[in-house]
Chains A and B, each alone.
Chain A
Amino acid sequence: MLAEVLLIAGKDLRIEKRSKIALNQVAPFAILIVILFGFALNADRPALTTFTPGLYWVTILLASVLAVHRSVAVEAGEGAREGLLLTGIRPSSIFLGKAAALIAQILLVAVVLLGAVIIFYDARIDNGVLLVTSLIAAVLGVGAAGTLYGALLGAQRARETVLPILLLPVLAPVLIAATRAFGDAMGTVATDGWAWTSLLFSFAALYIALGIASHGVLMEEN
């Protein structure tokens, strides 16, 4: 089981290593949004610092949509999906593997973006442990839900437009909880960040379970 998961994840990450889409396209896109927010908020430093958690997570969600597209596009070619199924690897392993690769890529973007908001928004980190834990919890949820809905849409031509309208409302709880947890970790909001982190972990666990349960049906459908 674990070997299968690592095999699939390794495949996607090798493709990423060669194409460098997440690093050279998704990460710059995320930084670009952060800079655009700076222009939009009139470079108001105190406001930018206050709203860093929210702006950061909105940016991550938008960048994640791109990353999900990329993750699906890897198998969108003629017969690629069938080929993957013919290897005999269980659909649940395929789901976990693809989710793991996606999570790793989003984490990469998230780390780069964290540097960007520290530089551009003067974000300061009061509680590093909380910050990292909630970041991982949130990205787990985004990656699991993204892989699931990405698989659902498959090679559909309409995927580019349908995925955001479906995925972004689904991720609304992640946005709420991650923004709150980051607010606590960055000292901009007085709230219990750990409680929100536990909510993020529950969301991730739920979507991982849903993905494992439904991936068999989904892989054969599209």
Chain B
Amino acid sequence: MANTKTSAVTNTMPSLPGPRADSIGTGSRTTRILGVVLILGIGLWLFLAFGPSGPDIRIDGTSGQEIGQFDAFRLIYVHVPAAITAYLAFFVTAVGSAMVLIKRSVWWDLVAGASAEIGALSAALTLITGSIWGRPIWNTWWEWGDVRLLTMLVLFMLSIGYLAIRRLEGTAEERARRSAIVGLLLVVNVVIVNRSVEWWASQTIHQNSTIAEAAIDGLKAFTLFFSIVLGVGLYVWMMIHRFRLAWLERQFDRFGLDDALATRRAEATTVLDGRDPHGRDRVEGERP
């Protein structure tokens, strides 16, 4: 039964006997401890970002007027961690893809898939927060001249394509190999996109990095650093859960029907013993 043609997992899940008493989800002591630490971290993050790190206000040398991004600068503490998490996540996907082809490892295949999904989310959040930040600072929702922005956009779209590839039908082996090849092809592609967009943008309009202009003092730098660490921490927490989900889905794909049959057989034995677990007479053909 196991490992023949397997369907895409949960959305086509047939109705099966109710929850097992011994089922365990994706939580564990590790994730709970990490979760508590992260919640405390989020509290500190919010406090630092909206409190002592302060707005970006500088005095213009010639006119003596206040310039800068003011409180809009505080968006940096969500935008930059999201971007770094996205790059980290896609890097892990690329490594995972290579490892699938080298070692034919199931673990790396699931890690690559889980990481790509979180990467897609992070990339989307990077684009959204960047857009919201760009509106007051660049006076536009979308800056076509910014290389990093366009690269991130293409990266996001490619990750959507990769996730679509992962959901295609085929045996587990076919799907893993196919996704791994696409994963590696897309890495090459991202590099080309980045180069060509950079070239293209330099011939149209050049947008200086806003971060380089802003006065980042000690506490701002620390808050930014802390927010990046927190972003990576959230990524790790999310990865553990997402990986365990992928693992459960794989187990269900491989052994789900066998497990269900075993459960049914156990039930049938109970009924024959005269102890119907449902406490009523069953009509012929009715589902237990």
Instruction: Report which A residues bind B (CB closer than 8 A).
Output: 148, 152-153, 156-158, 161-162, 165-166, 168-170, 172-173, 176-177, 180, 191, 199, 203, 206, 210, 214, 217-218, 221-222
Contact = CB atoms under 8 A, between A and B. Distances in A.
22 contacts: A152-B182, A153-B165, A158-B169, A162-B168, A165-B157, A166-B158, A166-B164, A166-B182, A169-B157, A170-B158, A172-B196, A173-B195, A176-B200, A177-B200, A191-B203, A199-B196, A203-B192, A210-B188, A218-B181, A221-B174, A222-B170, A222-B174
A221 B177 contact: yes
A173 B196 contact: yes
B196 A176 contact: yes
A166 B188 contact: no
Interface residues of B, number: 29
Secondary structure type dominating chain B contacts: helix
Given A157-B169, A165-B161, A222 B178 contact: yes
A173 B192 contact: yes
Contacts of B76: none
Given A162-B168, A169-B154, A152 B181 contact: yes
B181 A214 contact: yes
B188 A165 contact: no
Contacts of A176: 196-197, 200
A52 to B, nearest CB: 18
Contacts of A157: 169
B189 A199 contact: no
Contacts of B188: 206, 210
A156 B189 CA distance: 23
Contacts of A173: 189, 192-193, 195-197
Contacts of A158: 164, 167-169
A206 B195 CA distance: 14
A75 to B, nearest CB: 16
A189 to B, nearest CB: 9
A169 B186 CA distance: 10
Contacts of A172: 154, 193, 196
B196 A153 contact: no
B164 A162 contact: yes
